[in-house]
Homo-oligomer: A and B are copies of this chain.
Amino acid sequence: MSRGSTEQPSTADGPRQTGRATLRDVAKLAGVSIATASKALNNQPQVRAETRTRVLQAAEQLSFSPNTLAQGLITQRSGTVGLLTSDLEGRFSIPILMGAEDAFGSDQTSVFLCDARGDNLRERHHLRALLSRRVDGLIVVGARPDARPSLGRDLPVPVIYAYSPSDDPADLSLVTDNVGGGRMAVDHLIRHGRRRIAHITGDPSYGAAQDRARGALDRLAEEGLPLAGDQVWFGAWSEAWGRGATRMLLQRDPDIDAIFAGSDEIARGVLDVLHQEKLAVPTQVAVIGFDNWNILAVNARPPLTTIDMNLEALGRLAAQRLFAAIDGTLGSGVETVAPRLITRESTAPLD
């Protein structure tokens, strides 16, 4: 192997093969017992200052790094969690992972990321592997924001479902508040003086599509405003549908002054057609998206105001709940995380 450790730690029995110093090496070098070395390194009080520095120096010199596996064997805690995802692109799982990393602290807990690729068998495999690695907990991230099958009730570690809730109400699930997000989007448009607001969104079989629409309609109703375009335009989560729906919408109702798109992809399609029809954004028509998918939102023309699902916050929360559950009880039901508005240039006050 092309590595050259200069410090080959050795025992009385001869040089070590592994290339990694153990606590015994440190103790030997410092001239103390293993127990003392351990105490010194874990800064326990009952150790003389002079001894401690001697041990610390020895450890430094051997670039000693404690074997977490051995520690875990004793403490019954591996300091790892598994993130089991089905989200091929990592679009949702990565922010969640980062949030979790943040909350755990990278030196405390490491995260195994496993992608089941929508395959149930592969999920079972990964699950088994993670359990045998003695993860302290599990975060499950589904492929879409709808209920997914529970992993089951009698797992030996706490499990949290993030983004996609579990279909078993006894499990704890953390999801974005899609109703609130829809409401937030429309509220933003209303505050900007828009009155003729339409809504184009994706596949109606997605709970998220229904929820966002509901939030939008609720807010509209509060204001006594009708939905422009006479209906929620359900379709597909694609730019193509965004384009098609916008064309139909404009035909039916040419003087809308705002469109709430159920995703940034759809919003891109909307912008495209608006552009083509020479309708100025945001002056004539304001557009707001959903997801804050950077590559789409920032590059849009104009850059897209959108609703961010706050997945990092969701990841942080998952980590906190997991952490609390490790020596307490885990709740159940569905907990909701508030999304947040990202203002860019595709919306602006009327006038």
Contact = CB atoms under 8 A, between A and B. Distances in A.
Interface of A: 1-6, 18-20, 65-70, 72-73, 76, 78-80, 83, 88-91, 93-94, 97-98, 101, 106-107, 110-115, 117, 122, 125-126, 128-134, 153-158, 170-172, 238-240, 243, 265, 268, 272, 293-296, 299, 301, 325, 328-332
B65 A128 contact: yes
Nearest to A6: B154
A312 B19 CA distance: 32
A272 B275 CA distance: 11
A67 B157 CA distance: 14
A5 B239 CA distance: 48
Nearest to A70: B73
Q: How many copies does the complex hold?
A: 2
A77 to B, nearest CB: 10
Given A89-B94, A240-B299, A265-B299, A130 B156 contact: no
A1 B107 contact: no
A328 B2 CA distance: 9
B153 A125 contact: no
B132 A115 contact: no
Given A115-B98, A122-B106, A299-B265, A20 B67 contact: no
Contacts of A240: 299, 301
A235 B88 CA distance: 31
